[in-house]
Amino acid sequence: MKKVTTVCPYCGAGCKLNLVVDNGKIIRAEAANGVTNQGELCLKGYYGWDFLNDTKLLTPRLTQPLIRRQKGGKFEAVTWDEAIRYTAQRLKEIKQKHGPRSIMHTGSSRGTGNETNYVMQKFARAVIGTNNVDCCARVCHGPSVAGLQATLGNGAMSNSIGDIENSKCLLVIGYNCADSHPIVARRVIKAKEKGAQIIVCDPRRIETARIADQHLQIKNGCNMALVNAFAHVLIEENLYDHDYVAKYTEGFEEYRKNVADYSPEAVAEQTGVSAQQIRQAMRTYAAAPSATIMWGMGVTQFGQAVDVVKGLAGLALLTGNLGRANVGVGPVRGQNNVQGACDMGVLPNEFPGYQSVTDPKVRAKFADAWGIDVNQMDTEIGHRITEIPHLAIEGHVKAYYIMGEDPLQTEADLSLVRKGFEALEFVVVQDIFMTKTAEQADVILPATSWGEHGGVFSCADRGFQRFEKAIEPKYNVKRDWEIISLLATELGYPMHYNDNQEIWDEMRSLCPLFYGATYEKMGELGHIQWPCTTLESPGTQYLYADNRFDTPTGKGQLFAAPWRAPAEVPDDSYPLVLCTVREVGHYSCRSMTGNCAALQTLADEPGFVQMHPQDAEALGIRDQQLVWVASRRGKVISRANFNERINTGAVYMTYQWWIGACNELTQENLDPISKTPETKYCAVKVEQI
């Protein structure tokens, strides 16, 4: 029997755990004393591993390479040599015929690790010759990255998960941490126990709202109006830090003008909360000796998400709540390595280490290190994953190489996504399970899973942590980066790595931000937060320590935009708002957690549609009754779940379920900057079956 210390593969809290292995099988998970989890785990950490033992899997594990030679034909098991040859040949033909920008790639924000993401973006850029590489940050915290880069200079949490419990005020907006990051929720409870004021802005009375000092039960879709009203109060009531604003920020006069019309009184009806509540929230926030703003997808999955993130950064700038311990801005990243996928340049606009693809010097550096002609590099920003359905239908994108993502389950407006997939000539899926997307692939390349390989993850607070291999893979599968390397070599770009560390060291040598985060140091310290620019540095607990921001001028940028309505508002035909939310027992598309016996028992298909009893009773719907939920894009079966903790006029669905998939109903309305869809808001109706 042995114990292997690793990092949980589910959410960005980055909890460390020990997998106890006996005779090549995992027999249990125990909490380890990681920097972020301090010896605690949630249900997913304790019970989210038994798919590794090949128990009764709901979704088949991918065990060998498969090719489907004709659309609509059957998969055929092939050798690795044949799968690699065939895939490389098809990609080569498409590249020759339609050019490198006709091929799209994804990295993965799940259990594969940073090294693989680095290799995937290198494959796209150096081998195929395109910046068309992206990850699921696009559908979750893409607006946080764009909004914080523009205002503060870095698109990540300014502080640490550990800082949360020592902050004296937590402003939690659009973030249900109890369901999405339970161990982060523990920090919120600890902060409360230490006397922090908790302010929650959320349409639902979520768990955090139950312990909050103030709950602003806002209407869905009003975030920009609320954030502008917050800024209005800080300025009008003279609650802002004049000195800090004068010394460390820019744009105050324009900002003041832009929020002038957003008095709490003016937005009370629109937001659904009284002017007094809005004023009180900001009096509390401004008076706190240290205050932190935390948000989740209740902020980012809207058509106006980047503006709201900039507005939240503005509140921290106005009050000087940046650049020291226990303050700051905290977009808590969703999947366990979505921060890492971004860190590693699985973004269409940035190389690893957030270096711009449009900067000729940066391109020259990478071309030199990768041994390619700089003139063969793509000079334009690549496609985003949310643009692919349209680009495929219009004939601009012909091939899609998808690693560890399931867009046919997780993207908005699935009927549109399916049309996009039908228009593609060639789809390669590299994954561990036969997901909804894998079912539509032309080639399936089976990879090792978390537990079967090691590497480095980045948790939500910029912390690099090593995770270890616990068991030998049982099937004819390969490591993700090994598969990509074989494809690169077959395409005429010899790529060979001996191990993760070799990849990591190549990445470090090209990324000043991460240069000091060596494997050895991660082994010693357990958790290193970037920036870590020198071999001596232990990493950076909080950003902007000298109140110098990483913007072109070194100053924080104050920004406010007028509120824009969501794209589709309720009407007589579709009178309710649908908002997609999280479920505590399952993660993302459920391919991993759905194959864990203990987690499976928590909930079953079809998923629930949470309804306020008043809305349900008006429609003659009983609790637990099967119902149709329909939008202008589709119709699904679900089960009514009465819930008095939500607002009337809105219903809530989680997106883990294949039967009753809420993304059949959602719509795009992409944020114009981040291209993130508005999955938190569309119009639906609920009917009895």
| Residues in touch with ligand SF4 (CB under 6 A) | 8, 10-11, 13-15, 37, 41-42, 44-45, 181-183
Which residue's Cβ has the minimum distance to ligand SF4?
Answer: 45
Tokens read off for 160: 């640490």
Which one, of 434, 346, 443, lies nearest residue 399 by Cα? Answer: 443
Q: How far is 96 from 102, CA to CA, in rounded Å? A: 10
- Answer whether the bond into residue 289 is a cis peptide, omega within 30°: no
Residues for the chain: how many in total?
689
Q: Is 451 left (phi over 0), alpha (psi -120 to 50) or beta?
A: left
Which residues, in sequence order, are CB contacts of 659 under 8 Å at separation 6+? 605, 606, 607, 636, 637
Q: How far is 180 from 201, CA to CA, in rounded Å? A: 16
Q: What's at 323, amino acid-wise?
A: G
Q: How far is the CB of 237 from ligand SF4 (least distance, A)?
A: 38
Using CB atoms within 10 A of its CB, is residue 551 exposed (0-12), middle (13-18) or buried (19+)?
middle
Helices 500-510, 360-370: inter-axial angle, 10-degree rounding:
150
Residue linked to tokens 């997609």:
580
Q: How far is 351 from 29, CA to CA, in rounded Å? A: 36
Which one, of 47, 111, 34, 582, lies nearest residue 338 by Cα? Answer: 111
Half-sphere exposure of 562 (CA within 13 A, CB side): 3
Q: Closest CB to ligand SF4 among 16 and 101?
A: 16
Q: How far is the CB of 266 from ligand SF4 (least distance, A)?
A: 39
CA 218 and chain centroid, separation: 24
Q: Closest CB to ligand SF4 among 51 and 481?
A: 51
Q: Closest CB to ligand SF4 among 139 and 184?
A: 184
Using CB atoms within 10 A of its CB, is residue 597 exposed (0-12), middle (13-18) or buried (19+)?
middle
Q: Closest CB to ligand SF4 among 8 and 318?
A: 8
Q: How far is the CB of 366 from ligand SF4 (least distance, A)?
A: 32
Q: Closest CB to ligand SF4 among 181 and 612?
A: 181
Q: How far is the CB of 432 from ligand SF4 (least distance, A)?
A: 18
- C-alpha distances in Å from residue 92, one per residue of 68, 96, 126, 202, 494: 18, 6, 14, 49, 15
Q: How far is the CB of 47 from ligand SF4 (least distance, A)?
A: 10
Q: Closest CB to ligand SF4 among 14 and 677?
A: 14
Q: How far is the CB of 53 from ligand SF4 (least distance, A)?
A: 18
CB atoms within 10 A of CB 277: 19
Q: How far is the CB of 161 from ligand SF4 (least distance, A)?
A: 10
Q: What's at 314, amino acid-wise?
A: G
Q: Closest CB to ligand SF4 among 165 and 671?
A: 165
Which one, of 325, 274, 231, lies nearest residue 560 by Cα? Answer: 231
Q: How far is the CB of 34 from ligand SF4 (least distance, A)?
A: 9
Which one, of 568, 12, 603, 587, lies nearest residue 296 by Cα? Answer: 12
Q: Closest CB to ligand SF4 among 122 and 333?
A: 333
Q: Closest CB to ligand SF4 among 168 and 187?
A: 187
Q: Closest CB to ligand SF4 among 45 and 330?
A: 45
Q: How far is the CB of 11 from ligand SF4 (least distance, A)?
A: 3
Say how many Å lie between the first and final Cα of the chain, rounded. 53
Q: Closest CB to ligand SF4 among 37 and 112?
A: 37
Q: Closest CB to ligand SF4 among 15 and 170?
A: 15
Which one, of 275, 240, 259, lies nearest residue 311 by Cα? Answer: 259
Q: Closest CB to ligand SF4 among 59 and 593?
A: 593
Q: How far is 470 from 137, CA to CA, in rounded Å? A: 28
Q: How far is 181 from 317, CA to CA, in rounded Å? A: 26
Q: Closest CB to ligand SF4 among 103 and 191?
A: 191
Tokens read off for 608: 């629930």
Q: How far is the CB of 478 from ligand SF4 (least distance, A)?
A: 26
Q: How far is the CB of 293 from ligand SF4 (least distance, A)?
A: 20
Q: Closest CB to ligand SF4 among 13 and 119?
A: 13
- C-alpha distances in Å from residue 592, one per residue of 337, 404, 595: 15, 11, 5
Q: How far is 592 from 51, CA to CA, in rounded Å? A: 7
Q: How far is the CB of 317 from ligand SF4 (least distance, A)?
A: 30
Q: Closest CB to ligand SF4 among 41 and 385?
A: 41
Q: How far is the CB of 45 from ligand SF4 (least distance, A)?
A: 3
Which one, of 315, 347, 349, lies nearest residue 329 by Cα? Answer: 315
Q: How far is 205 from 654, CA to CA, in rounded Å? A: 16
CB atoms within 10 A of CB 14: 30
Q: How far is the CB of 37 from ligand SF4 (least distance, A)?
A: 6
Q: How far is the CB of 582 from ligand SF4 (least distance, A)?
A: 11
Q: How far is the CB of 527 from ligand SF4 (least distance, A)?
A: 13
Phi, psi of 93, rounded to the nearest 5 degrees:
-60, -45
